[in-house]
Amino acid sequence: MPIEILMPALSPTMTEGNLVKWHVAEGDKVEAGDLLAEIETDKATMEVEAVDEGTIGKILIAEGTQDVKVNAAIALLLEEGEAATALDGYTSKGDAPQSAPAEKEPDQPQTVQESAPAPVVPTNSQDRLFASPLAKRIALDKGVDLNSVNGSGPHGRIVKRDVEGLSGGQAAPAPSIQQPTSTGPEFEDVPLSGMRKIIAKRLLESKQTIPHFYLTVDCQLDDLMATRKQLNEGLADQGKKITVNDFVIKAVAMALRDTPDANASWVGNAIRRYKHSDVSVAVAIDDGLVTPIIKKAELKSIVTVSDEMKVLAKKAKDGKLKPEEFQGGSFSISNLGMFGIKQFNAIINPPQACIMAVGAGEKRPVIVDGQVTSRTVVTITLSSDHRVVDGKVGADFLTAFKKYMENPVLLLAQG
C-alpha cells in the first residue's frame, strides 16, 4: 500500500496552499528529511520534507497548482520493496482533516445569534415607571399594581418602603394613607388621574433633586396700569384687551433676553442656555394645571403675546393643547394674583431652572421722597435651581424684570 504524501498545514491558520515547485520526480528515491516540494502558504513559501523513506511512485498534484486543500494527497510514496503496480488500485482516502474520535466531539459553543435576546425597544423615560428589583418582587408577590404607587426613591423610584404596607388590589395606596377602619375617620380615596400622577411625580422629583432658592422683589404697577388702560382704549374697537399677565409675560421675555444666564437648564453634564425666551405660563384647569408656551416671546409684540395667550388658555381648558404647545419651555410663570394671593414660592418645572410666582397687585402704602403714599404693588418671587442660577444672576433677572414692569413703555417699544 503506497504512502500518501499530504498537503501539510504549515501555519496555524492555513487551510489551502499553492504547490509552487516539485523538487523530486516520479521514480526518485527519497529519505526522511529530503526536500520534496515548495508550498506557498497564506504567510510564506515553505518547504515540504519527506517523513518516510521510499520511492516517489506518483505525483498527484502538478507543479503550479493553486489552492490545494490541506491534507489533500499530493503524491504517493512506494515503500521499500513495494512495486509500482501497488499504485494501480489507489483511491484517495479523502482530504478532510481528521479530528478526534467521533464520540468525543467537543460541544459546539452556541453562537451569539442563537441565544441573543430580542432587542430592547427604547422606552420614553418620561413615561417609564421606576421601581427597585425588590419593590417589583414584593409588588408581584402581593399583586400590587405599581402604576398606582408613588415612588419615594431618587427620580421617583418605587422602593421597598413604598410597597411594604400594601396589599393586592389596593387602588391608590401611598403608604401614608390608611384604609378605612371601623374606628378611624371617614374618608374617600379618589383614584389618581394620569395628570395627577405626572404632577405628583415630576414635582416630587423637582423638589427632591433640585436645590431651590428664592428671591423676592416688589414692583410698582401704577405706570403699567395707566399704560394698559390707554392701550386697551386704543384696542377697544378691535375687541382686544391686554391683561396684566400679558405684561408680565412680555417683561419676563425681555428680562430673559437681557439675562441669558437665567434662561437655562441643568442637563446633567452641562448647562443648556436657550437662545429664545419660550415662556411657559401655568394655567389652572380641572384636576390640575398645564403650562402652554409663548415661544420666542421676546420677539413678539405685547398684542401678539396677548392674542396667543388667549388662544392657548382656551385650548388648555378644553384639553386641546398639542404636546408641542406645552412641552419644552425655558422659563415658567405661575400667577395666583387673580385669587388674591399676596406672595408664594413655586416649585420649579423640570428641566427648567426658574419659575416666577406672581402675587396680587394691590394698593399698599409706600414711602416716596420721605412721604407715605399709596401705590399699586405686586410681589414677585423667583424660584431658581442653584446648580444653574446663582443669587447674582437671579437678582439681575429680577432687576431687569422690575425695570420693564415699572417702565412699561419699554415693553411697547419691543417686538
Please confirm, yes or no, whether 386 is among the known catalytic residues: yes
At its nearest, how many Å lie between other proteins and the CB of residue 199? Answer: 22
**Size of the residue set binding other proteins (CB under 8 A):** 35
By CB under 8 A, is residue 32 in contact with other proteins?
Answer: yes
Q: Is 104 or 322 the residue whose CB approaches other proteins more closely?
A: 104
> Which one of 40-48, 209-217, 253-261, 329-337 is the stretch in contact with other proteins (CB under 8 A)?
40-48
Stretch 159-198 residues interacting with other proteins (CB under 8 A): 159-160
Which of 25, 62, 83, 100 touches other proteins (CB under 8 A)? 100
Stretch 51-80 residues interacting with other proteins (CB under 8 A): 51, 70-71
Q: Is 134 or 289 the residue whose CB approaches other proteins more closely?
A: 134
By CB under 8 A, is residue 392 in contact with other proteins?
Answer: no
By CB under 8 A, is residue 103 in contact with other proteins?
Answer: yes
By CB under 8 A, is residue 206 in contact with other proteins?
Answer: no
Q: Is 101 or 365 the residue whose CB approaches other proteins more closely?
A: 101
Q: Is 41 or 379 the residue whose CB approaches other proteins more closely?
A: 41
Q: Which stretches within 24-83 are classed as H helix?
A: none
Helical axes 244-258 vs 222-235, angle rounded to 10°: 120
Pick the catalytic residue from 23, 212, 276, 386. Answer: 386
DSSP state of 408: T
Which secondary structure element, helix H or strand E, spans residue 4, and what is its range? strand 3-6
Query: Three-state secondary structure along the chain?
Result: CCEEEECCCCCCCCCEEEEEEECCCCCCEECCCCEEEEEECCCCEEEEECCCCEEEEEECCCCCCCCEECCCEEEEEECCCCCHHHHCCCCCCCCCCCCCCHHHCCCCCCCHHHHCCCCCCCCCCCCCCCECHHHHHHHHHHCCCHHHCCCCCHHHCECHHHHCCCCCCCCCCCCCCCCCCCCCCCCCCCCCCHHHHHHHHHHHHHHHHCCEEEEEEEEECHHHHHHHHHHHHHHHHHCCCCCHHHHHHHHHHHHHHHCHHHCEEECCCCEEECCCCCEEECEEECCEEECCEECCHHHCCHHHHHHHHHHHHHHHHCCCCCHHHHCCCCEEEEECHHHCCCCCCCCCCCCECEEEEECCCEEEEEEECCEEEEEEEEEEEEEEECCCCCHHHHHHHHHHHHHHHHCCHHHHCCC
Q: Which amino acid is at 233?
A: E
Q: Is 4 or 406 the residue whose CB approaches other proteins more closely?
A: 4
The grid coordinates listed for 209 are 433633586
Stretch 245-304 residues interacting with other proteins (CB under 8 A): none
Which of 29, 43, 93, 155 touches other proteins (CB under 8 A)? 43
Which of 64, 94, 97, 288 touches other proteins (CB under 8 A)? 97
Which of 64, 154, 180, 319 touches other proteins (CB under 8 A)? 154
> Which one of 150-158, 188-196, 220-228, 260-268 is the stretch in contact with other proteins (CB under 8 A)?
150-158
Torsion of CA 269, 271, 272, 277, to 10 degrees: 160
At its nearest, how many Å lie between other proteins and the CB of residue 108? Answer: 12
Q: Which amino acid is at 343?
A: Q
At its nearest, how many Å lie between other proteins and the CB of residue 409? Answer: 53
By CB under 8 A, is residue 133 in contact with other proteins?
Answer: yes
Q: Is 32 or 289 the residue whose CB approaches other proteins more closely?
A: 32
Q: Is 27 or 97 the residue whose CB approaches other proteins more closely?
A: 97
By CB under 8 A, is residue 370 in contact with other proteins?
Answer: no
Q: Is 46 or 61 the residue whose CB approaches other proteins more closely?
A: 46
Which secondary structure element, helix H or strand E, spans residue 191, and what is its range? none
> Which one of 2-10, 295-303, 351-359, 376-384 is the stretch in contact with other proteins (CB under 8 A)?
2-10
Q: Which residue in the block uniquely carries the three cell numbers 424684570?
A: 401
Which of 136, 142, 196, 386 touches other proteins (CB under 8 A)? 136
> Which one of 55-63, 146-154, 246-254, 255-263 is the stretch in contact with other proteins (CB under 8 A)?
146-154
Residues that bind other proteins (CB under 8 A): 6, 8-12, 32-33, 43-46, 48, 51, 70-71, 97-98, 100-101, 103-104, 106-107, 132-137, 152-154, 159-160
Known catalytic residues? Answer: 386
